[in-house]
Structure 1
């Protein structure tokens, strides 16, 4: 194996290489070395491109020598000069002149440029094939590249349109400058919308009012700030309810925020209020039971009187464990023989305390004053009196204890 120059492009290659790696022309079996100057050239060339030595000169010379020998033998062994004419005698005794045989026509030699052009034409075939194959491969690669790029852009577009983060949308615009115009327009409009929402959200937060936050949620129900807005509204409502600390305010918070962050606190506060604070409906119930009690005395109605007290009274006018019959006895006892009518009027000066005696069951301690007007047949006796009354009302709304102290004036 030897290193030679490619006859086509001049690159250093092996003489055993099938083709030149640079220009693609065939090498092995297609080249020869000039015996005269050593130049490497293609076998199908007529002469050496360097010294113009004929590629087939030895074969042609041998052919000419053989021809001349055959002519000499035909002339009786005489060698005829190419320029001499042979004279022979005709049968009639006249001399005849022998002409030199006409040499065969010599094929015109092709010029060096024509030979080189033919070699180039023959050697360009593989180059063209290789170029076409390379072009096809590039086309396929470009197709898959373009398709992959288009798919990636579509994925980025869909992700950006679903995002509420302005940074995601801006990143899409910066990374897809050659995206379809409709995609760029849609993402740009979405980005502007989010920027506007951010400004409105900032204004709502700065205002710190429930109305501003609710207005923001009404305009943007699917905003990413929804949870934060609900948290702020929840905090505002709880601050208002806890500052009022009334059953109505606390219950309003629970109604508006059944899963709010302060539900447990609200329920505890309500329970505490119920255990320590007499609510309006409880006061109404207490006033009603004492009104019925004294109205029953005024009407001397035993049934209504017994309906106002518990079956067992822990203390009734100093008697422990009194029963309903003891209360009826008291009513008859205060109606003296000279009393024709008795009227009890209750002053609206109630003092009510409560305590929890069971699960949301309460006992009430009540203090108030009452006036007694008496119609008598004996005008010399007392007709008006004022009493201080202390009593207990059980969770069933019945009087379970009572004491009366006359106030001297």
Structure 2
């Protein structure tokens, strides 16, 4: 079997093909090779469309070769191959006679073949097997090209497979590094044994760090002390147990505040935990304590009011005296609903004609209590003692001691006052 060109369409086909797979023209048994130029054409044509050599009748193309026998034709020159076969032809007892010439093939197929052959000269070939080396060469080229394509396809497949594998490993690595679950990190190590060494080292280091973090957390919880929890947070500021550690510290500080039950203890809790879990409770407890506890500044305020009251009496300063009392007092020295005028009358009465000078001295024995009468408004009740020293015009002096009980309202003015003479 040889590869030839279809005389009709010029495509390469087998000379044993029943018909051309491209144009459908019959091939097997229907073609002949020109003994003069080697052109393949239909044997029913009168002459070769290339060199116009008359078609020898009874000869067909078999395995790419034309039979060596030919008719004696006086019009065509003998080729060397034909001359060499003279002895074989003389051995035949009956010489084959040439057939009447067949009319030349007409139609598009003939003209197409003639046009193609006229465009490219075909050198004459002495024998019909000249296409075997060409077919073998083309076969080898096809094998080489096929092999190259196969290698290229394998390379492309390997590239995409390796890229996909690396991409999945990179995603698993990033997920594991962002996880605080030791199981996730261990799973990465188990499923990616061929991962880059740098990735595996990072995962192993993080896994070891998480294990140590869990050990430190367990020790801090077992200890149950504020110091241990603070040390844990210092060593592991971004630990997954950070919120729980802060909660435990908050609870411990609140217990200390309630055990102290003082302004100092609640204030200390609020300063440490401005947004703590017990801020509202601490503020309420602090408010309740302040409602019952007289603050140092409140003591100073109470003492100052009574000092001004008695200094005004010593100086016989009516305006200064009435400035320390409320416009309407519930009680003043036994008089209910007393006014500022009643207080002024009191001062006039104690300054008798035989008195040349009077001096009130307050003892620093204040007992002050506190009562809430409104929203953060307080009333102060106090008891203290004072000594009245009177100098008379005859040169004598008399000292008298009094127990004083008084009330100061939220406005900072005396709203009630009584004095009891202490007999000695």
Question: Normalising TM by the smaller chain, what interval?
Answer: 0.5 to 0.7
TM-score (norm 1): 0.64
Q: Please state how far the C-alpha of 1:393 moved relative to its aligned partner.
A: 0.5
Distance 1:71 1:143, change over 3 A: closer
Match of 2:401 in 1: 386
Q: What is the count of residue pairs matched by the alignment?
A: 312
Q: Please state how far the C-alpha of 1:286 moved relative to its aligned partner.
A: 1.4
SS of the aligned residue for 2:221 comes to helix
1:260 aligns with 2:276: yes
Instruction: Please give the per-residue CA displacement for 1:188-243, whole angstroms capped at 9, x wherever unaligned.
Output: 22222233333333333333333333333333332222212221222222222222
Match of 1:324 in 2: 340
Match of 1:376 in 2: 392
1:407 aligns with 2:411: no
Out of 297, 300, 307, the residue aligned to residue 316 of structure 2 is 300
Out of 319, 328, 333, the residue aligned to residue 312 of structure 1 is 328
Instruction: Please give the per-residue CA displacement for 1:34-63, whole angstroms capped at 9, x wherever unaligned.
Output: xxxxxxxxxxxxxxxxxxxxxx9xxxxxxx
Match of 1:226 in 2: 242
TM-score (norm 2): 0.62
CA–CA distance in structure 1, aligned partners of residues 392 and 224 of structure 2: 71
1:158 aligns with 2:180: no
Q: Which runs of 5+ in 1 are unaligned?
A: 1-28, 31-55, 57-66, 75-121
CA–CA distance in structure 1, aligned partners of residues 319 and 264 of structure 2: 37
1:141 aligns with 2:157: yes
Further displaced range: 305-314 or 190-199: 190-199
Instruction: Please give the per-residue CA displacement for 1:339-362, whole angstroms capped at 9, x wherever unaligned.
Output: 333333333333333222222111
CA–CA distance in structure 2, aligned partners of residues 211 and 292 of structure 1: 52
CA RMSD, Structure 1 to Structure 2 (Å) = 3.9
CA–CA distance in structure 1, aligned partners of residues 329 and 94 of structure 2: 175
Q: Which runs of 5+ in 2 are unaligned?
A: 1-15, 18-62, 64-87, 96-137
Q: Please state how far the C-alpha of 1:333 moved relative to its aligned partner.
A: 1.5
Q: Please state how far the C-alpha of 1:293 moved relative to its aligned partner.
A: 1.6
Instruction: Please give the per-residue CA displacement for 1:101-157, whole angstroms capped at 9, x wherever unaligned.
Output: xxxxxxxxxxxxxxxxxxxxx999999988876665554333222212211111121
Distance 1:73 1:272, change over 3 A: closer
Distance 1:146 1:403, change over 3 A: same
CA–CA distance in structure 2, aligned partners of residues 233 and 178 of structure 1: 45
Q: Please state how far the C-alpha of 1:264 moved relative to its aligned partner.
A: 0.9
Q: Please state how far the C-alpha of 1:180 moved relative to its aligned partner.
A: 0.4
Task: Give 1:339-378 correspondences, 5 Å limit.
Answer: 339-377=355-393
Match of 2:228 in 1: 212
CA–CA distance in structure 2, aligned partners of residues 238 and 73 of structure 1: 135
Match of 1:167 in 2: 183
